[in-house]
Amino acid sequence: MISKKIKMKQILLKTIFILAFLIQTIGYGQDKDTTATWKWNVPQQINEVLYIGTDTITKSATPVIETDKWWEAFGYQELDSLIGLALQNNEDIKIAQARVEQAVAQKRIAFSTLLPSLRLEPSIARQEFSANRPNPFGGQLDRVTINTFDIPLTVNYELDVFGKNIDNVKANRLAADASMEDKKDILLQIITEVAQNYFLLLQVDAEKDLLKETEKTRQNNLEITTTRYEAGLVSQIDVLRAKTELSSVQVQLKRIHKLRTEIELILAPLVGVDASNFSINKTEISYLPPDLIFLEKDSLTATRPDLKSAKLMLESSKSLVKNQWKQLLPSFYVNGSFGYLSGASDNWIENDSRTWVAGVSASLPIFEGGKKRSEIKLRKSELKQAEAAYNQRVLVSYRQVENSISNIKWIHEQLLAQQDFVQAANSAAELTNERYRKGLINYIDVVDAERQALEAEQLSVQLFGQELKERVSLFKALGLLPNSVVE
């Protein structure tokens, strides 16, 4: 009988070990899909070659992970320098830091209510009493002059019996933590604004290079058309069309130059530099946008500073509501004083001049015209507002992430499809120019072909710039801010 029980135990143990091994094997065999909770997936870039304007881009930047300074992954050192300047000089960041310091000071003020108050209040007074002062015993009194030398040490302490002061301290501590998260949110906003404007500058410079190349081509076309017109091979209309196309490109170049100046003027205050002395050297697109090692949906509340701040302010409001209810309860105080009191300076600090008093007092609100109840309603309404603000921010944060991912997806797919358009349009433009020089077609065909080529190349540049900016928007929506920046 005993041997059977032993065998049953052995079989049971073996079964448990086998099941544990199978569960472990299955667990290790499956990779967790951290993007499964999102509606869209960020497109991955594998062995891509992009034709952006007059450039061919093949270099891939390092993927971004949560702990990285993600802007460095784009590969542009000038962007890193601009963000470094912004973190040092931006005035909004300094204002946010001042607000943090104010909140910390408020927290310390609240904490001081948990400690006793000690005051040394020395005083020296000389007073003359009227001879006509009230006298309960009747008769005329003499005028009297007395001196008072007093040096008391007073003690006042509120006994936090019901935890009123503790709730107030907690509320102020949470508000101070929220102000720190607000500063992080400002840091993230400044970084993303600098990055997006820099990538807009990349786009503008790429368009400028494209338009300069087009200007040279149009100038050459005008010279060829003029020569053919002087030889009587074409009409004056072809010359006028060539001049029109050249002027059109020159107008676009002026527009691009104006836009570049405006971007520099936007970047100047962001990096804390006088706009009149600020300029950025010509930029050049060099890398494909970096990929992102994605985060889970539930991690937004742990990464986004604005959500963390809203959550902390919600908890702070709850503490303030508790504190306000407790204001209806009595307050208890311990008061005391010890010192020396004398009518003359020569025996002021003596044993016989010692004086002291100690006692306990209480305060209970009886009637204040509904003030306490109204304050409770006010705190409750503030709590409802904080709850609604937090829930709204959560919903908006999910929308922002989904919107950024979907924009990246569609822009990237459009950019890939645009590559065939660019190659075909350029080939058609070259073939059309060659046929025009041989006198096989009219100049209007050249105009149409070159317009299509320019539009295709401009669109590829614009799409690439939009994808760069949308990836920055995604990093902002995810709240990716390295701790090294905050410290």
Residue with tokens 């949470």: 174
Confidence category of residue 481, pLDDT binned at 50, 70, 90: confident
Which 8-state DSSP code applies to residue 272?
A: T
Please give the C-alpha separations between residue 177 and each of 173, 183, 311, 316, 353, in angstroms, as whole numbers.
6, 10, 10, 10, 50
Half-sphere exposure of 58 (CA within 13 A, CB side): 3
Residue 138's pLDDT is: 77
Q: Under a CB-based contact definition with an 8 Å cutoff, are residues 275 and 198 in contact?
A: no
In the chain, % of residues over pLDDT 70? 85
pLDDT one-digit tens code per residue, 207-258: 998 889 888 888 888 888 888 888 887 788 888 888 888 899 899 999 999 9
Query: Token match 């905050």: residue?
Result: 486
Residue 321 · residue 380 · CB < 8 Å: yes
Query: 42-51, pLDDT tens digit by residue?
Result: 555 554 666 6
Q: Give residue 24's pLDDT.
A: 36
For 55: left if phi > 0, alpha if psi spans -120 to 50, otherwise beta; the answer is beta
Superfamily (CATH H level) for 50-110+165-321+374-486 = Outer membrane efflux proteins (OEP) (1.20.1600.10)
Torsion angle (degrees, nearest 10) of CA 306, 310, 316, 321: 160
Q: What is the mean pLDDT of residues 345-364?
A: 90
CATH fourth-level superfamily of 116-131+143-159+330-363: Outer membrane efflux proteins (OEP) (2.20.200.10)
Residue 151: what pLDDT? 92
- Here the tokens at position 395 are 């919903």
Tell me whether domains 50-110+165-321+374-486 and 116-131+143-159+330-363 share a fold: no
Q: Where does 62-164 show beta strands of DSSP type E?
A: 117-120, 123-129, 144-159
Question: Per-residue pLDDT averaged across 147-175, rounded?
Answer: 92
Alpha carbon distance, N-terminus to C-terminus of the chain: 70
Instruction: Give the Cα separation of 219 and 239 in Å (integer).
Output: 11
Return the SS3 of 147.
strand
Q: Please tell me the predicted confidence (pLDDT) of residue 19.
A: 35
Domain residue limits, the chain: 50-110+165-321+374-486, 116-131+143-159+330-363
